[in-house]
Chain A
Amino acid sequence: NAGVTQTPKFRILKIGQSMTLQCAQDMNHNYMYWYRQDPGMGLKLIYYSVGAGITDKGEVPNGYNVSRSTTEDFPLRLELAAPSQTSVYFCASSFGGETGRGNTEAFFGQGTRLTVV
């Protein structure tokens, strides 16, 4: 079972470059999330989606964009990379809302380690 797949695993960007972090899940989950994890810190929610075509901002959305054209995919876009975006990025998915009733687990990808220099 693939679960949640993130690509790439590692990436080094120069300041001002752009890139897309890919995330795909094969569990038919309606909810998907992007988190960032800074060294020694917990996870902060960047964006989330409750279903195809619907996205919303989390705690730290500045500098990022997302789209959800299908249930399976939830790419995260960095338009103008900045050193402050150096972090490990995790994508996750779950059943949520009325489907999940708030009590189902989230499944995480392996993470993308991004360095902006």
Chain B
Amino acid sequence: GNSVTQMEGPVTLSEEAFLTINCTYTATGYPSLFWYVQYPGEGLQLLLKATKADDKGSNKGFEATYRKETTSFHLEKGSVQVSDSAVYFCALNYGGSQGNLIFGKGTKLSVKP
């Protein structure tokens, strides 16, 4: 079936460090891929998305590229800030008649000054 696997956390980085959070997926067909972010005490909000192979989603300095050959959608940021501390969720939407999202377990990121 369809599933999303993302790296276990928590991840702790110093400010200005490079961030990578790995995400791989299993899906039939051609899903759309998303990264959502959840700040403390809040709901999830979309960070970026990619709808087809080789697309790159980007927002707020974060990037992720839809790699069909490796079934991956890794999240990267060149220089993290304390304000990036949050939980990050990778998700896929395989559309069709259900159109529902499948989420990874989430990766908690803490950035220290």
Interface contacts beyond A33-B100, A90-B43, A103-B49: sample of 11 additional A-B pairs, CB < 8 Å, sorted by A? A33-B101, A43-B103, A96-B99, A97-B96, A97-B99, A101-B95, A102-B31, A103-B32, A103-B93, A105-B46, A108-B36
Question: Which positions in B face A, CB cutoff 8 Å?
Answer: 31-32, 34, 36, 42-46, 49, 51, 89, 93-101, 103-106
Out of B44, B49, B94, which one reaches A108, CB within 8 Å? B44
Closest 3 CB pairs of A and B: A102-B95, A96-B99, A108-B43
Q: Measuring CB to CB, which residues of chain A are less than 8 angstroms from any residue of chain B?
A: 4, 31, 33, 35, 41-43, 45, 48, 50, 56, 58, 90, 92, 94, 96-97, 100-111
Chain B interface mostly: loop
In the assembled complex, the CB of A31 is this many whole angstroms from the nearest CB of chain B, namely 6
